[in-house]
Amino acid sequence: MKVVLQRVSQASVTVDSKIVADIKQGLLVLVGIEDIDTQDDIDWLVGKIIKMRIFGDENGVMNCSVQDIDGDIIVVSQFTLHASTKKGNRPSYIKASKPEFAIPMYENFVRCLENEFQKKIQTGIFGADMKVSLINDGPVTILIDSKNKE
């Protein structure tokens, strides 16, 4: 699994001109799933996301997690995170999971995140044409790959 964490001062997701998710300070999490992903990937990422210290403390130093600041989270499915750009100019999405595998993994990821976070996680709509709006605070953007734990 790959995720992009964006520290936001606000974010929202709109589908068919209707806002389906809307937060103030917190994280916008884009998540890409591939067929080799397992529950271990979910568990590891959930721990990282909840505990990632990318919010400022009283001294403006990034020492606080989204939990520490009582922030919110939006999760959006993003198959294009698995784009291969090795050949030509048209990305290949061969590594991205098909919906029959990706949807249950995505839903499980959101459930696990909610359980660990102890707070409702807002989401986009899997497979929909979503309009994601955000104010990236910092900007702070972190890429995490559960297969490359650096």
Provide φ and ψ at 83, rounded to 5°.
-65, 135
Decide if 117 is catalytic.
no
Residue 108, number of CB atoms within 10 A of its CB = 12
The single residue of 78, 109, 122, 123 carrying the catalytic annotation is: 78
The single residue of 6, 10, 55, 80 carrying the catalytic annotation is: 80
Decide if 79 is catalytic.
yes
Whose CA is closest to 82, among 5, 3, 28, 142?
A: 3
Decide if 78 is catalytic.
yes
The single residue of 55, 79, 122, 123 carrying the catalytic annotation is: 79
**Looking up tokens 């974010």, which residue turns up?**
11
CA distances from 38 to 101, 109, 126, 144 (A): 11, 10, 19, 16
Show which residues are catalytic.
78-80
